[in-house]
Structure 1
C-alpha cells in the first residue's frame, strides 16, 4: 500500500478560542476525510489575527499534503483567511470581477443590495482555483504547490458541509491516489467504568494496529472504537468484524448497541418488542429516567406510571411501607414490590438515592453535594434485579450518570 495522505484542519475564529462557539465544523471535516482514507494528525484553532493565521496555515502546509481551513471568509475586517493563505503561498490577493458579479447577483436574487464591504469577498490569492459556493456569499478556493493543497472553506456550517462534501473531497480524490478507505465502528457499553473496560480489553489494545482499538468515556457509558484501513469498504468491515467479535466475547452483555444508538432507545425498543408494561419511581435523578424513556413512541404501550419524589418518607406513606427505613436497601426493594403490585405492571423500577437537603436555598440546590448510596431495584413477576453504587456529587453529576445505570438494570432484565 502507498503511504497514506496526511491532512490537517485549521479552524479560524476568536469566538472558538474564547469558548463562545464550539467547533463542530472540524468534526464533520474529519469524518469526511476518514471516509476516503485520509489520515488526520493535527487540528488547529486560531483566532482572528493575520500573523497567527498565516503561521498556523504555514505550519500545517509544511507537515501535511492537505490543509483545510474553515472560517474567516466573511466581508468584515476580522475575516483574514484570504490574506493568510496568500502570505503562505507567497502571492498577493487579486480581485476577480466574476466573483464580484456572482456576489452581487446573489444579493439581488434575495431582494438585497450588496454593500461595499462585500467587495472584499471577491479577492482571492493570485493563482487560486475558485470553488463556487451556491449556499452563500463567500467564494471558496484552493491553492496548490509542490507541498500539496490548501482548501479554504466557509465557517457557516451548512455552507461548509456542501463545500467539503460535494466539492473538496472530490478535489482531494482527483489530486491524490488515495487507494484506501478508513472505516470505524463504535461499540456502546454500559455498566462498566472506563478503567475496567480498558483493563478487560487491554491486550487487544496493545496487539491491534490495523484495525486499531480505542476507548472513550461518557457519563455512565464507555465507547469502544474500532478503526480499520483497507483497500475497500468490504475489506475494512471484514477486519472490523474480527476484532468486534473479540471485544464482545470479553465484554459480553455490557455491549448494548453499535453506532449512535442510545441506551434509552434500546430499552424502549425492548419493552415494546416484548410487550412489557412498566412503572418507574425515582428520587435523586429528578425524573431523568422517565424523561429519557418518554422520548420514544413506544412509551404509549409500555409506560403505565411514573413518580418523581424528593422525600422518600412520602413514598413510604403513599405505598403503606412502615416496616422498612426510608433510604435503606430493604426499603427500596419493598417499594419496588409494592409499586409493581399496585400499578398492575410487568416491571417496576425504583431508583432511590439522596437528594440535597430540603431546606437548602433553591439557587444552591444544583451545586450542593448529595452523598450516599443509590439503590436500583427492578421487580418483575418472578425476580428482583438489583444494583447499587455511590454517586457522590452535585445534582448535575448524578442526573447524568444514575439514569444510565437504572436503564442498564432494566435492559439486562429484558434480555436475561
Structure 2
C-alpha cells in the first residue's frame, strides 16, 4: 500500500504551526514497510480540500487526513469527505455521549454546535478519541482506505495506538515491505560521501539517498525485503566503502546510546568549554529520561572530582579539542581534530566536536 498524508488547517499554511503530524505518521508507516508518496498541506478551503482528495487519491491507496473535525464553522472536513466519497452523513449517538462524558464531569456545558462532531459518512467506522472530543473515522471509497483524524498530535497518537496500529499490522501481513538501510557518516562532505557510495553501487539498480544533518551525512539504500539476499553483497560493499567514516547504522542515535551507557552510574559530571551549547542541546533531552534520580552536573568551567564518571571536552586550539573520560583513577583521553579548516566554519567545528566527544566517551565507557 502506498500512503499519502493530507493536513488541513489554515494555521498550517500560515506558518503558525509546523505540520509534525505528517512526519509522525510517515515514520509509523515506514516502520511497517509502507511507503508514503506525498505530504500535502492546505488551508480550510472546501474547494481545495476536495481537489486535494482527488490528488492524493491519484498517488495512494491509503490516505490519512488530519484536522478539521472540531465544533467550529471552519471545521468542515467531514462534510467534504462526505461529498467526495458520495456517502451521506449519519448521526452517531455514541459520539454525542463521548463528548458529554468528556466535558460534563469537568464542568463544561455541552453546546449544540458540538453536534456537528457526531456525523460520519454512512458505513464509516468511528474511531474513539480518548484524548479529545472529536472522534476519528475510517471509510473505504473509490478504492481507497481513508483515515480521517483530528489535528492535535496527542489525539492522533491516541487514536493510532488504540485503533489504527493493529489494523495496519494485520493489513501488511504477507506484503513485501520496502526497507531502508542507513549509514550515518562524519568528517567528510556530502559530495565525497556520495562519490564513495556511487562507486560501491556502480551498475546496481537500487534506490539511493543522502541527507545532511550536520555534522553528519546520512546514506540511505532502499529495496523490497524480498531482495534482501540479493542486496546483501551490495550492503556489504557500501559498509566497507564507508567504514572509516561511519558512526552509526540504521538510525541509531548517539546521545541516546550514550545516555543508556551512563544510566548505571549514580553520579555524573560533564565539563564542556569547547562546543558552546551544541553538546548540552544534544544530551539534555535524552538524559532527562535516565538521570532524574541521579546526581549530575553540566558546567563550562568546573568538574566534580567526586562524581562516579567525569566527561570532559576542552579547547586545545581553534581546530582541535582535548577529550577525556574519567572513572575513579582511570582515565582515557585523546585529541580530536575537526576536518573543517575554513574560518567561516567555526559553528560547524563546534557541532563536530560535540558529536565526536560523545562518540569518544561512548567507545571508552
TM-score interval, smaller chain: 0.7 to 0.9
Residue correspondence of structure 1 range 200-239 to structure 2 within 5 A: 200-204=196-200, 207-209=203-205, 212-230=207-225
Distance 2:85 2:135 in 1: 18
Relative to its length, the structure with more strand (as a share) is 2
| C-alpha deviation, 1:40, in angstroms | 1.6
RMSD (Å), alpha carbons: 4.0
Instruction: Tell me the alpha carbon deviations over residues 299-342 of structure 1, each in whole angstroms, 9 at most, x when there is no partner.
Output: x999998449xxxxxxxxxxxxxxxxxxxxxxxxxxxxxxxxxx
Query: Who wins on radius of gyration, i.e. which is larger?
Result: 1
Quick one: structure 1 residues 162 and 400, their matched pair in 2 at CA, closer, same or farther if it must change by over 3 Å? farther
- Aligned 1:152-163 pairs, distance under 5 A: 152-163=148-159
2:186 and 2:216 in contact (8 A); partners too: yes
- How many pairs are equivalent? 341
Give the structure 1 partner of residue 126 of structure 2: 130
> 2:29 is matched with which residue: 4, 27, 33?
33
Q: What secondary structure does 1:161 align onto?
A: helix
Normalising by structure 1, we get a TM-score of 0.67
Q: Please, which of 4, 8, 11 is the counterpart of residue 12 of structure 1?
A: 8
C-alpha distance 157-351 of structure 1, shift in aligned 2 (>3 A): farther
TM-score (norm 2): 0.76
- Equivalences for residues 11-160 of structure 1 within 5 A: 11-160=7-156
Point out where structure 1 has 5 or more consecutive residues left out of the alignment.
309-344, 353-373
- Give the SS at the match of 1:248: helix
Stretch moving more, 31-40 or 214-223:
31-40
- Cα pair distance change 1:201/1:156, threshold 3 Å: same
1:10-409 matches, cutoff 5 A: 10-172=6-168, 179-204=175-200, 207-209=203-205, 212-230=207-225, 242-263=233-254, 281-282=273-274, 285-286=275-276, 288-289=278-279, 306-307=300-301, 349-350=314-315, 352=317, 374-378=318-322, 386-387=337-338, 389-390=340-341, 392-393=343-344, 398-399=346-347, 402-405=350-353, 407-408=355-356
CA drift of 1:376 comes to 0.9
Unaligned runs of 5+ in 2: 303-309, 325-331
Q: Aligned partners of 1:304, 1:115: CA distance in 2, in Å?
A: 51
Report the alpha carbon displacement of residue 31 of structure 1 after superposing the two structures with TM.
2.2
CA contact (8 A) 1:153 1:160 kept: yes
Compute the displacement of 1:384 (Å): 5.3
Please state how far the C-alpha of 1:77 moved relative to its aligned partner: 1.0
- Secondary structure class of the residue paired with 2:131: coil
CA–CA distance in 1 between the matches of 2:316 and 2:159? 48
Q: Distance in 2 between matches of 1:106 and 1:303?
A: 43
Moved more, 28-37 or 49-58: 28-37
* Matched-pair contact (CA < 8 Å) for 2:321–2:353: no
**Aligned equivalents of 2:125, 2:252: Cα separation in 1:** 41
The answer as to whether partners of 1:38 and 1:178 remain within 8 angstroms in 2 is no
Secondary structure of 2:69 counterpart: coil
d(CA) in 1 for partners of 2:33, 2:18: 26
Is the CA contact 1:187–1:257 (under 8 Å) kept in the aligned structure 2? yes
Deviates more, 1:107-116 or 1:39-48: 107-116
Match of 1:360 in 2: none
Secondary structure at the aligned position of 2:218 is classed as strand
